[in-house]
């Protein structure tokens, strides 16, 4: 069984294989709800971007050393996200995977995931995925109601989605995840139940359920904040209904045997053995395992070198520029990454154990925290624990803490209670 998030153990390059995230910021169309660093670009840029991407992958060892991070060459998960990686040409996908395999030691059992939008999986792309060793696909379905999809700029229909799932399975890729969004324009309780029914009927092993994010970084969010009606903003459910839809999904999926293991993620039990068909790659984020990101707006966390470790630094975090222009512009990649680097000391690592570990349904373990951070850590935070338990946001199973269903809805407020703005993350050069 893979490392549980409750352990929140120190990152050790000798023990933990690496996860690789590759950002492909290209889409057929920009969804109105999207606040990611992605968009619609000329295909003429694709080759330039892939060339830069592969150059960064090949230089990753030297870059990691400059940033003070330890880079293990063993890889057990690769995730192509975006954007929509399936809009790349087959030869571009193959070049990316060939570069990764030539640079790293990819384990034979590695989980290799590609995000795809329904309707973008052509026969050539499907063959390319199989040739590249892809064994997991995350489908950005969002809804099985055609009207809801079209209202936010999605180009697929229910029929297209079901056909893509059938074709993926026929090609030998049965490990499929479906993304759903609660709170889309025109969505009501009945249509949401229809989307849940369709999702369960597919029998996919993994489902992600997100609540619509309302912020000024998306066109729909900005219109909602302004009180306007463009992008079908006046048909967006209110916050209470959106929360009810999320809770309904948790209940419906759980009853159907698709168990929640993280705030937004649900999985079926594996056919043989123990555990769930969870996302090995995403678990790296929540359990503080090492990963490195390539491409625009890609984030990384690596164990600190012995030199930094001796100065109290446990890990380094860094990120590439979030715009395509900045990412592909002339200039040293190391200098770009140094500008974003955070040095994670013991206090910052403890904070991360709280706000990442609590995302998982199993929560955090007091004994694991004490083993890593000392016996007084639980006593130090006891007043915060008591306050959040009293508020009904946390509950205390045997020797630990986890979010309540209400706590998952208000998770950002819970996590904020464990953050100290004075934490010294970038004071050491």
Residue 126 contacts residue 168 (beta carbons within 8 Å): yes
Listed residues 247, 267, 283: the one ending a domain: 283
**pLDDT digit string, tens, across residues 263-313:** 999 999 987 656 788 999 999 999 999 999 999 999 999 999 999 999 999
316: Cβ contacts below 8 Å, ≥ 6 apart:
67, 68, 69, 301, 302, 304, 308, 341, 342, 343, 344
Same structural domain, 143 and 268: yes
Backbone angles phi, psi at 197, to 5 degrees: -65, -45
Task: Provide the pLDDT for residue 224.
Answer: 80
CA angle 289, 292, 298 (to 5 degrees): 120
Ramachandran sector of residue 123 (left: φ over 0; alpha: ψ -120 to 50; beta: rest):
alpha
At 7 the pLDDT is 42
* Contacts (Cβ under 8 Å, ≥6 apart) of 382: none
* Domain-embedded: residue 79: yes
Which one of 245, 260, 283 terminates a domain? 283
HSE toward the beta carbon, residue 93, CA cutoff 13 A: 29
Q: What is the pLDDT of residue 34?
A: 77
- The whole-number pLDDT of residue 262 equals 97
293 within some domain: no
Q: Do 76 and 183 fall into the same domain?
A: yes
Is 427 inside a domain boundary? yes
Structural domain contains residue 300: no
Q: What is the Cα–Cα distance from 253 to 249, expressed in whole angstroms?
A: 6
Query: Given this model, what pLDDT does residue 85 score?
Result: 95
76, 214: one domain? yes
**How many alpha carbons lie under 13 Å from residue 342 in its C-beta half-sphere?**
17
Domain count, the chain: 2
* pLDDT for res 204: 97
CA distance 31 to 150: 9
Is 70 part of any domain?
A: yes
In a domain, 295, yes or no: no
With contact defined as beta carbons under 8 Å apart, do 151 and 185 qualify?
A: yes
Q: What is the pLDDT of residue 216?
A: 77
pLDDT at 8: 46
Q: Which CATH number covers residue 364? A: 1.10.10.920
Pair (26, 108) in one structural domain: yes
- Evaluate whether residue 289 is within a structural domain: no
pLDDT at 421: 46
Mention every residue, 6+ apart, whose C-beta is less than 8 A from residue 273: none
- Same domain, yes or no: 179 and 46: yes
CATH of the domain at 18: 3.80.30.20
Does residue 219 share a domain with residue 90?
Answer: yes
Same domain, 259 and 370: no
What pLDDT score was predicted for residue 30? 80
219 and 91 within one domain: yes
96 within domain boundaries: yes
Say yes or no: 240 and 371 in one domain: no
Structural domain containing residue 206: 5-283
**56 and 190 co-located in one domain:** yes
C-alpha angle 423/425/429, rounded to 5°? Answer: 140
One domain for residues 135 and 252: yes
- For residue 181, give the 3-state DSSP assignment: strand
Task: For residues 261 and 375, state if they share a domain.
Answer: no
Low-confidence ranges of the chain (pLDDT < 50): 1-14, 421-429
Domain stops at, among 253, 283, 313: 283
């Amino acid at each position: 069984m893979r490392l549980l998030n409750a352990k929140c153990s120190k990152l050790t390059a000798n023990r933990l294989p690496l996860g690789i995230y590759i950002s492909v910021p290209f889409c057929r169309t920009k969804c109105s709800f999207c606040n990611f660093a992605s968009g619609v670009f000329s295909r003429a840029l694709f080759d330039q971007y892939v060339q830069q991407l592969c150059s960064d992958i090949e230089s990753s060892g030297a870059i990691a050393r400059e940033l003070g991070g330890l880079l293990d060459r063993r890889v057990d998960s690769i995730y192509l996200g975006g954007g929509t990686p399936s809009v790349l040409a087959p030869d571009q996908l193959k070049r990316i995977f060939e570069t990764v395999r030539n640079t790293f030691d990819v384990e034979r059992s590695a989980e290799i995931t590609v995000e795809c939008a329904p309707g973008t999986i052509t026969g050539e792309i499907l063959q390319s995925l199989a040739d590249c060793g892809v064994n997991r696909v995350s489908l950005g379905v969002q809804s099985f109601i055609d009207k809801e999809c079209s209202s936010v700029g999605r180009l697929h229909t229910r029929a297209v989605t079901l056909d893509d799932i059938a074709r993926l399975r026929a090609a030998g890729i049965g490990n499929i995840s479906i993304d759903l969004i609660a709170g889309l324009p025109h969505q009501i309780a009945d249509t949401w139940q229809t989307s849940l029914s369709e999702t369960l009927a597919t029998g996919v092993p993994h489902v992600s359920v997100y609540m619509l994010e309302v912020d000024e970084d998306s066109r729909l969010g900005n219109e909602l904040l302004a009180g306007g009606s463009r992008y079908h903003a006046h048909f967006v459910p209110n916050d209470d209904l959106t929360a009810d839809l999320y809770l309904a999904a948790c209940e419906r999926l759980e009853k159907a045997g698709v168990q929640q293991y993280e705030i937004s993620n649900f999985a079926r039990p594996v056919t043989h053995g123990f555990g769930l068909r969870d996302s090995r790659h995403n678990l790296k984020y929540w359990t503080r395992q090492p990963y490195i990101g390539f491409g625009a707006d890609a984030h990384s966390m690596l164990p600190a070198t012995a030199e930094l470790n001796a100065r109290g630094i446990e890990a380094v975090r860094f990120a590439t520029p979030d715009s395509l222009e900045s990412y592909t512009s002339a200039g040293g990649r190391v200098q770009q990454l140094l500008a974003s680097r955070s040095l994670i000391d013991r206090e910052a690592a403890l904070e991360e154990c709280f706000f990442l570990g609590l995302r998982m349904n199993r929560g955090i373990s007091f004994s694991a925290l004490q083993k890593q951070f000392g016996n007084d850590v639980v006593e130090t935070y006891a007043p915060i624990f008591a306050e959040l338990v009293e508020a009904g946001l946390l509950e205390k199973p045997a020797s630990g803490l986890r979010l309540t269903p209400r706590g998952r809805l208000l998770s950002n407020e819970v996590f904020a209670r464990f953050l100290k703005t004075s934490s010294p993350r970038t004071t050491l050069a």
